[in-house]
Amino acid sequence: MWEQSTDPFGSLWLSALVAAIPIVVFLVCLVVFKLQGILAAAIALVTQIIVAMWAFGMPVDAMAGAGLLGILNAIWPIAYIIVMALWLYRLAVASGHFDVIRASIGGVSRDQRIQVLLIAFAFGAFLEGAAGFGVPIAICAALLMQLGFRPVRAAMICLVANAAAGAYGAIGIPVIVGAQVTGIDVAVLSKAMVIVLQPLTVLIPFLLVVILDGWRGLRETWPAALVATVVFSGVQGGVLWFLGPELADLGAGLAAMVALFAFGRVWQPAHEFRADGAAPPAAQSHSFGEIARAWSPFYILTAFILLWSLPFFKDLFAAGGPLAGAAFAVPIPGVTDEIITASGSVVTATWAFTPLNATGTAILLAVIVSYLTTPRASRPNLWSELAGTLRTLWQALVLIALILALANIANYAGASTSMGQALAAMGVLVPLVAPIIGWVGVFLTGSVVNNNTLFGPLQVASAEGIGADPALLVAGNTAGGNTGKVISPQSIAIAAGAVGLSGRESEILRASILYSLGMLVFICLWCFTLFLVF
């Protein structure tokens, strides 16, 4: 049995600096040498192996087990959820449903301020929950251009609006992964996200209107913005608090769209706003039945995810439940009962394989039901869309696997604790800078998931060092990263491609950066206030 050492050099700061080398290598490879994410992560993983063995004395079998656990978690449940979600989305697009969905949204109001609330805010959040990985930014920016928005403004607005949903993208994966790599219960972390991030979310609809039409626009459209924020934030916060992160974006986005649609039937701004004199697009008419069928894959998805999230369903697979035998906890050789942490506890790491009650299985059933209920004439090729999904995602999935392997080795070697203890020396300032770490992580990696994987354990170690609630700092890390997504190179590139500005990404960056920094400052101050109060 091997015992961790968090200070192998007898100097905490020196040990922490050595522990940080793999993360620095990864970021330098991305930013300075501009390597592809997979290559940068592979180099960082090799560096992590060297640091774990040489500096922290980690045995080979323990290191192999830690890396294996990271890869297994990347496959199940993370890759499973992501692939199923994007598969469902691609089937909706290929069947023609998505054209009807776009038309039904764009026809609610001719006022561009209301269109921004419907498309960039509500519909974008819905897509973030269903697919994530840049899908909402690309689709909503292109749709806004079709409605008369200029390219840079369309891209920037969608990037800012995504801050309301980016923390829970692709069926809540960022929060789920954050809970996995830190050992925090996902329900506890979800509630912490409500406390940390929801105050900013409440302000975003108003911010979008001000960006588009200044204070005059806010005076003229505040009723619609208020409806959007009350419904969206109320549903999102309620889902996070009582159910978990899986439906946080899907439910909130759908509810906000329905609320704005209903509100638009009884109220419209006195002055119709069209930026730069843009002409309204030609109206497209669809019957209620066509619209209902177009939305049906997402209704079905919501129903299955909701069922999988209910306590009675979860209890079926809990210890002592009638289906407990269908949930497997696989001990990891070299790690389980083979490592003593710096605090003296024995590690009991297991890989949870839950084929029936996994969130990905709920999405798979939604895929099957949606496909079977689609009229045969418009059914796409089921397997070709799955193949296309895998071709689209394989690099992102491999990158996640490499980073999870790196993070697990760092965690079980004691390196993450070493860095956390060093940061804890900052004392009460740690909660103030925790969101900044997340912002930097997402700016450089382009992913809230990868950010939580890299820095989640570090935040926990820092919290323990100053006596703070670990969930608060991990939520701060996630929330800060969410604001960094607004200007991450990956997000900017997706937005630029969607609006035909590839090669002119700097224009979108300049238009967006102040909003990203402003939201980051808000999160830092709020996180610090929560630490002082609680």
Q: What is the pLDDT of residues 431-460, one digit of tens each?
A: 998 998 888 778 766 678 878 887 888 899
Nearest C-alpha neighbor of 198 from the set 259, 151, 245: 245
pLDDT digits (tens, 9 = 90+) for 398-409: 887 888 898 889
pTM: 0.75
CB 439 within 8 A of CB 158: no
**Residue 441: per-residue pLDDT:** 77
Percent of the chain with pLDDT over 70: 95
Question: In this structure, are residues 484 and 438 in contact, taking their beta carbons and an 8 Å threshold?
Answer: yes
Q: How far apart are CA 244 and CA 247, in angstroms?
A: 7
State pLDDT tens for residues 152-197: 899 899 999 999 999 997 778 899 989 988 889 999 999 999 999 9
Identify the pLDDT of residue 288.
78
Asked if 56 contacts 473 with a C-beta cutoff of 8 angstroms, the reply is no
DSSP state of 372: H
Residues belonging to the chain: 534
**CA–CA distance from 352 to each of 74, 170, 331, 398, 504 (Å)?**
12, 20, 9, 20, 45
Mean pLDDT by 10 residues, the chain (534 residues): 91 92 84 81 94 95 94 85 82 84 74 91 88 73 80 91 89 88 92 96 96 92 96 96 91 92 88 71 72 84 81 87 91 92 82 89 92 88 92 81 86 85 83 88 74 84 89 95 84 73 77 92 96 88
Distance of CA 173 to CAs 68, 129, 231, 251, 360, Å? 20, 9, 23, 15, 11
